[in-house]
Amino acid sequence: MKNLTLIGNWKLNGSKSSIQAFSNEWHGCDHPALTVAIAPPAPYLGYFAKTVASCLLAAQDCSAHDEGAHTGEISAAMLADWGCRYVLVGHSECREAHAESDELIGEKLRQVQAAGLLPVLCVGEDRHARESGTAETVVKAQLRGALLAGQSTALLVAYEPVWAIGTGLTASPEQANDMHAMIKSELYEVLQSEQDIPVLYGGSVNPDNARALFECAHVDGALVGGASLSAESFASIARAGINYLSH
Ligand code: PGA
């Protein structure tokens, strides 16, 4: 039986009072094979950790630098200091808003590893690439552009087709599974390691579609945006994971 990892990405949402409300409704989701984390906006990392029990901490992004004159940036070591376990790198919204290159994303990824945390490398094609049949080529290039041959295998990958993020459209379980299988074989080739690297699916995951995704052989969990903002829907997704793991 595989393990599942569930990471909620709050993006530019949340406040002290919404974290308090989340905490009041979140009663934890205990299963030895399920890991659950939330990535609140960076200023709330400390408050979230203090307020919400039984949820690991993730960050949405980090600097490619370790220290120095980089106004506004947050280093991976600082995120480690706050108790983060995971750091997203290369989310499609960051790629687009900050014109991030694959090389820069790779540098961030290695900063996260150097700080002893687990990077979650986000990859995914846009609608044009999906429709023109180049989705695999795009995702392969994103992986190869960010990862160095033989580098540390301490990472996760999140496959998030851009056309499915926040749109209510989801990749079908077959589409997700096929892409995840391709990603795993690519990771195997680039990293030259038999280590099983978890590949999460992201893009409009909700309580209704989560179970079918978890059932896919190559899907090792989910990166959840909108549906992670309420403890109720995030807990339903976690319960779908526990039901799958216990079947
Ligand atoms: P969504 O976002 O679940 O709201 O589609 C996913 C993500 O961007 O990580």
Condensed to tens digits (0 to 9), the pLDDT of residues 57-107 reads: 999 999 999 999 999 999 999 999 999 999 999 999 999 999 999 999 999
Q: Considering its fold, how many domains does the chain have in total? A: 1
Mutate to test the pocket of ligand 1, among 126, 169, 224 (most ligand atoms within 8 A of CB): 224
Q: How far is the CA of 192 from the centre of ligand 1 (A)?
A: 30
The answer to whether residue 240 scores a pLDDT higher than 90 is yes
Per-residue confidence (pLDDT) for residue 45, from 0 to 100: 98
Q: Is the CB of 225 within 6 Å of ligand 1?
A: yes
The answer to whether residue 14 scores a pLDDT higher than 90 is yes
Domain of residue 80: give its range.
4-245
Q: How far is the CA of 101 from the centre of ligand 1 (A)?
A: 21
Question: Quick one: which of 167, 157, 166 has its CA closest to 124?
Answer: 157
Q: Residue 77 has which token pair?
A: 């070591």
Nearest CA to ligand 1 atom 2: 225
Q: How far apart are CA 210 and CA 223, in angstroms?
A: 11
Alpha carbons within 13 angstroms on the beta-carbon side of residue 86 total 28
Question: Quick one: which of 235, 245, 241, 247 has its CA closest to 54?
Answer: 235
Q: Residue 107 has which token pair?
A: 């540098």
Atom of ligand 1 nearest to the CA of 9: 9
Q: How far apart are CA 93 and CA 48, in angstroms?
A: 23
Residue 158 sits in a domain of what CATH number?
A: 3.20.20.70
pLDDT tens string 107-144: 999 999 999 999 999 999 999 999 999 999 999 999 99
